[in-house]
Amino acid sequence: MFSLPRLEASRSASCEDLQSSNASSLSWLQAEFKHEPLEGDLNERNETFMEDLLMHALLENLHLKHSLHTKRSYSRCEKAKAVHQQQQASDTSSDKRTT
């Protein structure tokens, strides 16, 4: 086992190493991700972003509604076609019976 003074010295050294490592990582991150200030007011950019997001959501909703309407229309058309074909088939069979 470690003696108490050695453990304290080891803990102190590792703490200093960690602080040094954190400081160098922080300075690297600051240098790496340093950017020029963005043009415009932050609130204005947020409003623009929210407007764009809302517009995208509305367009997506419109697209989904149009898609659903098209599917329903197609389904109605297919049903009407099937009913029409059944009527024609029954009309032709009844015509054959009467002649």
Mean pLDDT of the chain: 75
Residue 56 lies in a domain: yes
Distance CA 9, CA 12 (A): 5
When comparing pLDDT for 11 and 56, which is higher? 56
At residue 70, the 3 state secondary structure works out as: helix
Range in 31-35, 75-79, 90-94 with the lowest mean pLDDT: 31-35
- Report pLDDT for 1: 44
Which pTM was predicted? Answer: 0.38
Look up residue 13 and give its two tokens.
């050294």
What's the mean pLDDT in 54-78? 88
| DSSP states of 2-71 | --HHHHHHHHHHHHHHHHHHHHHHHHHHHHHT--PPPSS-HHHHHHHHHHHHHHHHHHHHHHHHHHHHHH
- Report pLDDT for 45: 76
Q: Does residue 27 sit in the same domain as residue 52? A: no
For residue 74, the enclosing domain spans 42-99
Model confidence pLDDT, tens digit, residues 58-67 = 988 888 888 8
Residue 3 lies in a domain: yes
Q: Does residue 3 sit in the same domain as residue 47? A: no
Q: Does residue 94 sit in the same domain as residue 52? A: yes
